[in-house]
Structure 1
Amino acid sequence: MPFLRAFLLSLFLSASAVAQPTALVGATVYDGTGAVLEDAALVVEDGQITCVGECRVPAGAETADLGGRFVTPGLVDAHVHYGQTGWLDGRPDSGVGTDVYDYDQLQTDLEADPDRWHRAYLCSGVTAVFDPGGMPWTIDVGDEERTDRPHVRSAGPLLTHFEPVFSILAANGENTFLPMQTDDEAVASVRQLAERGADAIKVWYLNPQPDQRAALDARLMRIGAEARAHGLPLIVHATELVNAKVALRAGASMLVHSVEDAPVDDEFVRLAGAARTVYAPTLGVGRNWRRALASVGLGAVPVLDDPNSCVDAETRRVIAGAPALSSGMSPEAVFAMFVDAGREEAMMAANLARVHAAGIPVVAATDAGNPLTLHGPSIYAELEAMEAAGLSPTDVLEAATRNGAAMMGELDRLGTLEVGKLADLIVLTEDPGASSSAFRSLTHVMRGGVLRAVSELRAD
């Protein structure tokens, strides 16, 4: 009686609580270390895993039969932005809708209610996220004691030499960016973030002008040294090969976004290995930006990739207003935009394959919050794009779990299903070892020992 079994399982999982031992039995468990445990048991007590594999079920434990299902660690999205919405209202630097959207009010609302993103992530099976850059308030959105939100680490405001954005991505007297126009200014910005409690130092390193390159390259080195002095990882946005190499020499712990202008070479691989740098490819965000701009240009409502109905009603409402922003872009212009995107995406995919083959750690990272890169469900297309670029499904799984937790500095607590770690996991009906699209079949998510059905996390 499959329907009755699924119904009873859903009732049990929805009601599970940390206080009572829980035993999940019969599933195929991908533990995140590379092991695949068939017909396995997993025991959770007080929010932690106490046994995985062949286990004795504790007396009095609530037991759920997960026969035919698959369990993996909770997903980690290593690049999100809580101060952005998944639409153009969160990116006034686009120049689209600035006469319609109130950015100050938006930041006030998001700071007051980050739960709209917390819920969307858990609803999508994401139990940990890293926010590498945003308004100062984003530093404080995490709360480790709460099991109804993912683990959150945040870098807070970004350092940049690109002055035009300072007056655009600012609201309520605060700014998304800090200056680095001089060495003293750059050091002061790093110290300010360290004092504020940031979890990393992020530099938005756009292609310097020729007459500025030597000074800015040296300054990035200085920023890296200051970050290390405060025990903080250096994260760098550098999408050109020459700039990515400078970031690696500066000791970047993570490169956010792919190198997209040229093939990565042996020097890049050597530098990345020496710096022990993590590569966060964000394969889908550029295409989603183009989809958003095309929707506005053509006056069409974009289709949302949200298989489990996790996107909140307000986000859907704002995106549905795309036709009111119509700029009259011609179909020819839209076609040209996506031809350019195809070239860029091919380079990004080839570079990801090379980086992975060289043994450089890769993490799953969406850049969620950017237009049509939605908080939560954007993880699915990103994982599928990584597989399409040449990673095996199990490589993708490791990138989205163990590697992400390691990048966050949390591998001792998260990212794998091992005894002593927090019980953060997801339940799927399809096999993630066969295809990364299996993560769309999510039915339940556990965060800190509390299991919830996706149906109770869906948006209204």
Structure 2
Amino acid sequence: MSEENARTSTVVVGCAIVDGRVVEGVPALPDGAVWVRGERIAAVGPRAEVLAQAREAGDHATVDLGGAYLTPGLVNMHTHLSLALPGTGGDGVKAMNPHELALYMADGARRTLLSGVTTVRCVAESNHADFALRRAINAGRVPGPRIFTAGRALVCTGGHGHDNPDTLECDGADGFRRGVRSQVKAGADLIKVMISGGIAGEHERITTRQLFPDELAAVIETAHAWGRRVTAHAGPAELIAEAVELGLDCVEHGYELTEAVAARMAERGTALVPTLLVTRCKEFFDELGVPEWMQARSLGAGPRHLDSYATAVAAGVEVLLGSDMPPFWHFEGTTASVRELEYMSETGIGPARALYAGTLGPVRWLGATDDLGTVQPGRFADLIAMDADPAAHTSAFRGVRWVMTGGRVVRDDQAGWSVG
């Protein structure tokens, strides 16, 4: 491990600093510096000023990024570290015993962190292994991103994903209230609910209703009473419209939005995590042995999905990064997280807004702005560096070459090492 990792005070220099506040008029800081003490950022500013502050306080290490652009780490809002799609790849995950699954998820967490994703929102994980993984990461026993998790997603009997241990079957308003409380009891930061069919359910359609209004109202009311936000796997506009009126906080996928529903989402502050990759990833499906029926449904939904996303953007809906595919997965020349962000940028929001959608926007939804999302004093030092400006070109994230989490460098390509 490098010397700077052993110290509690580090000054990062040789960088231009930019974050999601660029969309709000906060410009990049050229030739900037970041002073990190312990896990958090102590100071940010021009290089000479920050170095003077650090010298006055005592011993510190200096890390020179050689002219890189420094941003907060990416936040992936639709993550399944225990993903098990239909097909041979998913069957292998389903066959794992609890110990194997824990190690598999820990490896995925490590890869996720090294790819530049320093925070994830898990939206359905098997058998509550996510809570054990989060504790291990927080204790420093394994490397990985900060985890916000929904625990097991709530589904109706036979509903979307019911055949995986990452969901909990519920029925009726009382059943769904118990479901919410069970996940809160386990430690969930948010609640995920499946309100429609999807591309991975053989005996359903994307448009299949899976919760009735009283059931969904029970989920949202109970979660909000416990201070948890709710996100919903949802495809058709009609069901999304009902959910938005009931107070839904976020929509996953949103395959078939209309102008009227998108406008209402924007008005009510309901965010969208579009997961554009899931309807344009044949290479990924082939790699996992996903059956033809699912591939046809997924890829066939692609054009309408893209139109739906464009409709949401035009209406002013808050759109946030989420890949659904494992965040670190190598796909179309980069990682799934970066490719998703590129699609979002290219087909609607542009690079500056994409930087926001991959960092500060998700953190605001998570209610974690005191700790994450910007390069500011007091925030955790979860930082990544690349050689091009991501506020000008989203593809800059393809060049992530340095990663810090909680003040500890875990990847440095110029030095030729990482934590794994």
What's the TM-score bracket when you normalise by the shorter of the two chains? 0.7 to 0.9
Between stretches 22-31 and 264-273, larger displacement belongs to 264-273
| Alpha-carbon separation, structure 2, partners of 1:197 and 1:441 | 35
Please say if residues 139 and 153 of structure 1, whose CA atoms lie closer than 8 Å, have aligned partners that are also in contact: no
Any idea what SS the aligned residue of 1:17 has?
helix
Aligned match of 1:40: 32
SS for the counterpart of 1:114 is helix
SS at match of 1:76: strand
Which position in structure 2 is the counterpart of 1:429? Answer: 387
**Matched AA of 1:117:** G
Q: In the alignment, is the contact (CA less than 8 A) between 1:139 and 1:155 conserved in 2? A: no
Q: Could you say which structure has the greater relative contact order, defined with CA pairs below 8 angstroms and 6 or more residues apart?
A: 1
1:18 and 1:448 in contact (8 A); partners too: no
Worse-matched range after superposition: 38-47 or 73-82: 38-47
Match of 1:457 in 2: 418
Aligned to 2:156: 161
In the TM superposition, what whole-angstrom CA distance separates every residue of 1:318-353 from its partner, at most 9, and x where no partner exists?
Answer: x5xx5xx9x8x7xxx99x949x83x63333333333
- Letter matched to residue 19 of structure 1: R
Q: State the Cα distance separating 1:428 from its structure 2 match.
A: 0.3
1:345 to 285, 302, 306: 302
In 1, distance between residues paired with 2:41 and 2:89? 49
Report the Cα distance in structure 2 between the residues aligned to 1:439 and 1:98, rounded to whole angstroms: 28
- The percent identity for this pair of structures is 26
Computing the radius of gyration from Cα coordinates, the structure with the larger value is 1
- Could you report, residue by residue, the CA deviation over 1:61-90 in whole angstroms, capped at 9, with x for unpaired residues? 222333421111111111101212xxxxx2
- Whether contact under 8 Å (1:83, 1:107) holds in the other structure is no
Q: Give the drift of 1:268.
A: 3.2
Give, in whole Å, the separation in 1 of the partners of 2:89 and 2:143.
34
The number of equivalent residue pairs is 392
Measured against aligned partners, the alpha-carbon deviations of 1:7-40 in whole angstroms (never above 9, x if no partner) come to xxxx9xx432263321122311113311311111
CA distance in 2, matches of 1:349, 1:227: 31
Aligned pair in 2 of structure 1 residues 410, 177: CA closer, same or farther (>3 Å)? same
1:137 pairs with one of 125, 129, 133: 129
Counterparts of 2:350 and 2:150 in 1: how far apart (Å)? 31
Aligned residue in 1 for 2:201: none
Aligned to 2:219: 223
Structure-2 separation of matches of 1:181 and 1:194? 18
Residue in 2 that maps onto 1:315: none
- Structure with the bigger percentage of strand: 2
Distance 1:442 1:15, change over 3 A: farther
Q: TM-score, normalised by structure 2?
A: 0.83
1 CA distance for matches of 2:322 and 2:252? 8
Q: 1:391 to 1:266 in 2, by over 3 A?
A: same
Aligned to 2:146: 151
Deviation at 1:394, TM superposition (A): 1.0
Where 1:252 maps in the other structure, the secondary structure is: coil
CA contact (8 A) 2:112 2:327 kept: no
Distance 1:247 1:15, change over 3 A: farther
Q: Which runs of 5+ in 1 are unaligned?
A: 1-10, 85-89, 170-174, 296-301, 303-318
Which of 251, 258, 264 is the aligned partner of 1:264?
258
**Aligned to 2:92, what secondary structure does the other structure show?**
coil
- Asked if the contact 2:37–2:407 (Cα under 8 Å) also holds between the matched residues in 1, the reply is yes
- Equivalent residues in 2 for 1:1-400, closer than 5 Å: 14-17=2-5, 19-34=7-22, 35=26, 36-54=28-46, 55-57=49-51, 58-59=54-55, 60-84=59-83, 90-91=84-85, 94=86, 96-97=87-88, 101=92, 103-105=94-96, 107-135=98-126, 136-142=128-134, 143-146=137-140, 148-163=143-158, 168-169=163-164, 175-207=165-197, 216-257=212-253, 259-261=254-256, 263-274=257-268, 276-288=269-281, 290-293=282-285, 295=286, 302=287, 337=296, 341=299, 344-369=301-326, 377-400=335-358
Separation in structure 1 between the aligned mates of residue 359 and residue 367 of structure 2, nearest angstrom: 13
Q: TM-score, normalised by structure 1?
A: 0.77
- Aligned CA distance change for structure 1 residues 214 and 127 (closer, same or farther; 3 Å): closer
* CA offset digits 1:231-282 (Å, max 9, x no partner): 111110011111211221221221111x223x421343224432x2221011
Post-superposition offset of 1:112: 4.0
Q: Which runs of 5+ in 2 are unaligned?
A: 198-203
Matches of 2:271 and 2:353 in 1, distance apart?
14
Q: Does 1:412 align with 2:356?
A: no
Task: Tell me if the contact between 1:18 and 1:45 (Cα under 8 Å) persists in the aligned partners.
Answer: no
Write the distance in 1 (CA, Å) between the matches of 2:117 and 2:327. Answer: 17
Residue of structure 2 in register with 1:309 after alignment: none
